[in-house]
Amino acid sequence: MESEAGNGKAGKKGTSESKGRESKDFIRAIIEEDLRTNKYGGRVHTRFPPEPNGYLHIGHAKSICLNFGIAEEYNGLCNLRFDDTNPSKEDVEYVNSIIEDVRWLGYDWGDRLYYASDYFEQLYEYAIELIKMGKAYVCDLSPEEIRQYRGTLTEPGKESPYRNRSVEENLDLFRRMRAGEFPDGSRVLRAKIDMSSPNLNMRDPVMYRILRAEHHRTGNKWCIYPLYDFTHCLSDSIERITHSICTLEFEDHRPLYDWFLDQLGVYHPQQIEFARLNLSYTVLSKRKLTELVNGGYVDGWDDPRMPTLAGLRRRGYTPESIRDFCDRIGVAKRESVVDIALLEHCLRVDLNKRAPRVMAVLNPLKVVIENFPEGLVEEMEAINNPEDPSMGTRKVPFSRTLYIERDDFMEDPPKKFYRLAPGREVRLRYAFFIKCVDVIKDPNTGEIVELRCIYDPETRGGAAPDGRKVKATLHWVSANHAVTAKVRIYDHLFTVPEPGAIKDSDFKEFINPESLIELNNCKLEPSLKNAKPGSFYQFERQGYFCVDTKDSTENSPVFNRSVALRDTWAKIKKKQEAKS
């Protein structure tokens, strides 16, 4: 990753990789170099700066883990700061969800919860200062005219006819803008930089606009609002951030970031850009996610199919698994698409060790054990998690009538089907061998409705004293003891790996119609009766499931499948390893 070192300051490239330390990403390399040279007096101070105009998604988690993670690693601090300069799109609902999500991920900003809107007065003073220095002017061009005057990548821009207003006139007009004397959109304050700069961001960018919109914090106090580029660098400066880490699309904004700070001669943090996370089979753009929510394509921001942290949490993702994921993907300067299988793999790795294993039949088929006495209940001993003996064991009731998975029986099995079939013997997990002796069908539809089996009482615990073997072990649930529950099987939200990148099409065309399948008659072992919302389990042979926090009621849990057991990522990795 060393070739990707690039903090933009010419000449700093690759200063610290070759010193024999274990490989660090380019951002940590910059920070270590700054610590070595004592650039910020040994301080490391980062921030995570969300705009409260949507819920956080897994891409934001990458930025959160990076900013808070770096602060932790280098004994520094990380602020949570809302970049709330766009009142028409912001809402306290988003503020609250963001606070909840960052905390859920396991990070703590201490008493440093800030809002850019808290700096409005100070930002206004900075703007006045720039006007006094002849570095900012009030412009009366319409938004459309400003766009036309800006020029293009190949053509220089044209100077605004208002560019050379006197300082006095600018001061007067800007104060009157604040006082509410002019209608929305009629005037703006612009930085006076260079209309022929090859960087369009430097062509007299707008600093303030007139907008009568109630702000979720400042109410109607302001009718002018500062724009992002002006606000962001100064907020960083006010908070004495050392390393202002952001995504690559801000690379071209860095000269402007630097310009404002240099003109004003204030404390100057260093902006560093990294590649944003893209994840396959989903979209990570707030605009697109908002479209999915508002268009009713999903059931809200916390729909378990959404890549939002609220959605992932409801799906059953743990903060540990998400932090592990962010750690594994690392940071780089080049954009790429990360395989969603890696995220799923991280969850399996985490839950494999922690989730209690239980038996649950998703598509039940009734089995009657003909030689098992009516009314008798045997308590079978089951292991809660073979990965962790300290999780102990539990008792699972076994009786004459059971359910097994419909898929685990075939009347006319093909060659490689080893599970139950007429005349064949299999093991029931933690119980006995059973053999199928008869198949009962609905006389009208021909559907199999029941299997008649016999069991061998000598095989208690799953082994035959005579040493005979069976080829399959099935999970099962005692019918009389079963908890009937709704289980939701989730799959990727989109059918194609990059739904947002397909030419001439709308990403919503690729929504997976089978991204949610509801099963309403699942039979769970009785220990799940009081499963607490938010708790997670491995359903043996099926996957990891969690109890839905919204739709479960007392004694009636609803389960969401977090992830299936089959680990495609582990397979991909094995193949790669075999190749190299």
Query: Could you confirm whether 416 is annotated as catalytic?
Result: no
Of 51 and 194, the one with the shorter C-beta distance to ligand ATP is 51
Encode burial over 352-364: b for 16+ CB neighbours within 10 A, e otherwise: beebbbbbbbbeb
- For 148, list phi and psi in degrees, rounded to 5: -65, -40
DSSP state, residue 2: G
Beta-strand relationship, 360-361 and 364-369: unpaired
Of 164 and 336, the one with the shorter C-beta distance to ligand ATP is 336
Closest Cα partner for 288 from 500, 498, 87, 84?
Answer: 500
CA distance between the termini of the chain: 19
Of 160 and 244, the one with the shorter C-beta distance to ligand ATP is 244
Give CA angle at 27 (26, 32), nearest 5°. 95
Of 59 and 157, the one with the shorter C-beta distance to ligand ATP is 59
Q: How crowded is residue 508: how many other Cβ atoms within 10 Å of its Cβ?
A: 14
Tokens coding 287: 């605009």
Which helix H or strand E contains 456, and what residues bound it?
Answer: strand 448-456
Q: Which of 13, 158, 175, 276 is catalytic?
A: 276
Of 59 and 364, the one with the shorter C-beta distance to ligand ATP is 59
Of 284 and 293, the one with the shorter C-beta distance to ligand ATP is 284
Query: Could you confirm whether 273 is annotated as catalytic?
Result: no
Of 62 and 313, the one with the shorter C-beta distance to ligand ATP is 62
Encode burial over 186-213: b for 16+ CB neighbours within 10 A, e otherwise: ebbbbbbbebebeeebbbbbbbbbbbee
- Provide the residue type at 79 as one letter: N
Least separation in angstroms between residue 560's CB and ligand ATP is: 24
Q: Which of 2, 17, 51, 100 is catalytic?
A: 51
Of 311 and 356, the one with the shorter C-beta distance to ligand ATP is 311
220, burial (CB in 10 Å: exposed 0-12, middle 13-18, buried 19+) = exposed
Q: How crowded is residue 280: how many other Cβ atoms within 10 Å of its Cβ?
A: 17
- For 7, list phi and psi in degrees, rounded to 5: -100, 5
Least separation in angstroms between residue 550's CB and ligand ATP is: 24
Q: What is the binding site for ligand ATP (CB under 6 A)?
A: 49-51, 59-60, 62-63, 246-247, 276-277, 284-286
Least separation in angstroms between residue 63's CB and ligand ATP is: 4
Classify 225 as helix, strand or coil. strand
Q: How many residues does the chain have?
A: 580
Which residue has the CB atom at the shortest distance from ligand ATP?
A: 59
Tokens coding 281: 């089979």
Q: How crowded is residue 269: how many other Cβ atoms within 10 Å of its Cβ?
A: 23
Query: Could you confirm whether 328 is annotated as catalytic?
Result: no
DSSP state, residue 511: B
- Report how far apart, in Å, the C-alpha atoms of 575 and of each of 156, 338, 497, 578 are: 52, 17, 20, 5
Least separation in angstroms between residue 214's CB and ligand ATP is: 20
Q: Which of 47, 187, 190, 286 is catalytic?
A: 286
Least separation in angstroms between residue 29's CB and ligand ATP is: 19
Least separation in angstroms between residue 90's CB and ligand ATP is: 10
Cα Rg of the chain (Å, integer) = 31
Tokens coding 576: 């790669």
Least separation in angstroms between residue 277's CB and ligand ATP is: 4
Least separation in angstroms between residue 57's CB and ligand ATP is: 6
Beta-strand relationship, 243-247 and 270-274: parallel
| Catalytic machinery residues | 51, 276, 286
